[in-house]
């Protein structure tokens, strides 16, 4: 079929914009970059998914888009053992999955998941409810058909070991080249439950917790699982600093829906639990 005039215009337009974006990207470190680039122009030529104060290697710019996320400078504690902050809700399950399970899992994720750009240089694939945190709204997207069946062994183990019912499986990908990291944050308290779970994959990293006095740096190796509850869930922030992504890393964040939201939307809970839905690749 002959492309009509409009299609041709759209393609030509897209090509020009594409060239513009490519050119602008080369400009990022270029001393010839016009000094007049305004914040609005900057927003339009940006090719990453960062919003607000978030930055990644593609969009950070000392003049127009500096990193302004406030991080208090606090003395760092390296826990003497994994039980040191247990009372405050820091639980680490070393080798939650075996090396064989880990390697197979990583292969399946990298082969099958279609990651999309996320904030701060991360990439993500999210299975489960979509939450509008500001409007306090939650829904299951029409495209949701379940969790990938290769994650069933993790979901079953979380139920056996932690009595945890999984409602969300979020894959995160961190690459050092993209300056990937996650800024200090608390996972949303309205939407998500009392235990926040992260399974560390593909390379070691440091998860940094912060309370008002200290940073607590927890080293996580491949197959280690971190559970944040109590103060570590509700008061202390957690982050993965950019300097702690030195190699390609994957993480699976697993969450359940908070009691309040479960009462509000029993229909969603039923769809996620009765029975847990899976799809085969």
**Contact residues: ligand AKG, CB under 6 A:** 170, 172, 182, 187, 198, 207, 238, 240, 251, 253
Spatial distance between the Cα atoms of 178 and 32, rounded to a whole number of angstroms = 23
If the CB atoms of residues 61 and 88 are measured against Fe ion, the closer one turns out to be 88
Stretch binding Zn ion (CB under 5 A), from 23-31, 43-51, 206-214, 222-230? 43-51
- Binding segment toward Fe ion, per CB under 5 A, in 40-48, 159-167, 170-178, 187-195: 187-195
Q: Is the Cβ–Cβ distance between 43 and 50 less than 8 Å?
A: no
Beta carbon of residue 181, minimum distance to ligand AKG (angstroms, whole number): 9
Q: Closest approach of Cβ 29 to ligand AKG, in Å?
A: 28
Report the C-alpha gap between 248 and 134 in whole angstroms.
Answer: 32
Cβ-contact 226, 220 below 8 angstroms: yes
- The total of other beta-carbon atoms located within 10 Å of residue 134's CB is 6
Strands (E), 140-220: 147-148, 168-174, 182-185, 196-201, 205-210, 215-220
Judge contact between 219 and 84, C-beta under 8 A.
no
Sole binder of Fe ion in the list 67, 82, 175, 187 (CB under 5 A): 187
Per CB under 5 A, 24 contacts Zn ion: no
Q: 51-110: which residues touch Zn ion (CB under 5 A)?
A: 56, 58-59
Q: Which stretch binds Fe ion (CB under 5 A): 89-97, 112-120, 139-147, 186-194?
A: 186-194
Q: Which is nearer to ligand AKG, 60 or 199 (CB)?
A: 199
Instruction: With H, G, I as helix, E, B as strand and everything else as coil, classify residue 120.
Output: helix
**Where on the chain is the footprint of Zn ion (CB under 5 A)?**
48, 50, 56, 58-59
């Amino acid at each position: 079929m002959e492309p009509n005039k409009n299609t041709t215009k759209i393609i030509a337009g897209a090509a020009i914009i594409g060239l513009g974006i490519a050119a602008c990207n080369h400009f990022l470190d270029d001393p010839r970059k016009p000094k007049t680039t305004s914040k609005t122009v900057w927003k339009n030529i940006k090719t990453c998914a960062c919003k607000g104060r978030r930055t990644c290697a593609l969009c950070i710019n000392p003049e127009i888009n500096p990193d302004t996320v406030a991080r208090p400078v606090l003395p760092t504690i390296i826990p003497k053992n994994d039980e040191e902050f247990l009372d405050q809700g820091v639980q680490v399950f070393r080798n939650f999955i075996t090396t064989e399970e880990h390697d197979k899992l990583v292969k399946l994720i990298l082969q099958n998941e279609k990651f999309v750009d996320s904030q701060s240089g991360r990439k993500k694939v999210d299975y489960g409810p979509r939450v509008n945190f500001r409007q306090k709204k939650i829904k299951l997207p029409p495209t949701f058909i379940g969790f990938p069946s290769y994650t069933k062994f993790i979901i079953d183990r979380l139920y056996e070991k932690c009595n945890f019912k999984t409602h969300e499986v979020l894959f995160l990908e961190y690459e050092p080249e993209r300056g990937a990291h996650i800024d200090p944050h608390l996972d949303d308290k309205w939407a998500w439950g009392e235990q926040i779970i992260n399974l560390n994959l593909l390379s070691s990293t440091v998860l940094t917790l912060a309370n008002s006095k200290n940073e607590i740096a927890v080293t996580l190796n491949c197959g280690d699982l971190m559970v944040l509850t109590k103060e570590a869930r509700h008061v202390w922030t957690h982050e993965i600093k950019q300097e702690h992504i030195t190699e390609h890393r994957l993480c699976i964040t697993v969450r359940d829906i908070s009691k309040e939201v479960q009462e509000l939307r029993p229909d969603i809970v039923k769809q996620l639990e009765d029975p847990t839905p899976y799809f085969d690749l």
